Amino acid sequence: MAQRIMVLHGPNLNLLGKREPHIYGEITLQSINTQLEAKAEEMDLELEIHQSNHEGVLVDFIQEAPARCAAILINPAALTHYSIALFDALKAADLPAVEIHLSNIYRREEFRQKSVVSPAVNGVISGLGSQGYLLGLEALASLLK
């Protein structure tokens, strides 16, 4: 049976392709999910994919993850910089996790250069666009072996 990975997309990622394409590119969230599904199939993994603009909904998904999933791939988006709730949920879930950012947060505004989520995950991939999601999936597969 294939291992399942929960993929979480945070606030405003549903606007990818329209929102600031000079920063986030023109790829849509649906395209990223399609790429992830294809990669997961190649790797004999199952994905459970969610997007929410609401912090509490994302916390609920993380809390539910250990019952169904072996790992978490998360792009916390704006919540990266202030969500202690996501940090706490990831710590409590105690699953392998990788944090993804489409843009390089360290080349952005000063307030975007700190992640309060990062100390709760195994690794962070930042600045590689949608490729970062695929690399994150590969990293989680490696961690699960």
CATH number where 91 lies? 3.40.50.9100
| Whether residue 24 lies in the annotated active site | yes
User: How many structural domains is the chain composed of?
Assistant: 1
Please say whether the beta carbons of 67 and 139 come within 8 A: no
Q: Active-site residue among 81, 101, 106, 133?
A: 101
Please say whether the beta carbons of 126 and 117 come within 8 A: no
| Whether residue 106 lies in the annotated active site | no
pTM: 0.93
Buried b (16+ CB within 10 A) or exposed e, 104-130: ebeeeeeebeebbbbebbbebbbebeb
Per-residue pLDDT of the chain (145 residues; tens, 9 = 90+): 679 999 999 999 999 888 766 666 678 999 999 999 999 999 999 999 999 999 999 999 999 999 999 999 999 999 999 999 999 999 999 999 999 999 888 777 787 778 999 999 999 999 999 999 999 999 999 999 9
Q: Active-site residue among 9, 22, 24, 106?
A: 24
Q: Which two structure tokens, joined as six digits, stand for 40?
A: 């997961």
Range of the domain at 90: 3-144
CA dihedral 17, 21, 24, 25 (to 10 degrees): 70
Q: Which two structure tokens, joined as six digits, stand for 70?
A: 């072996």
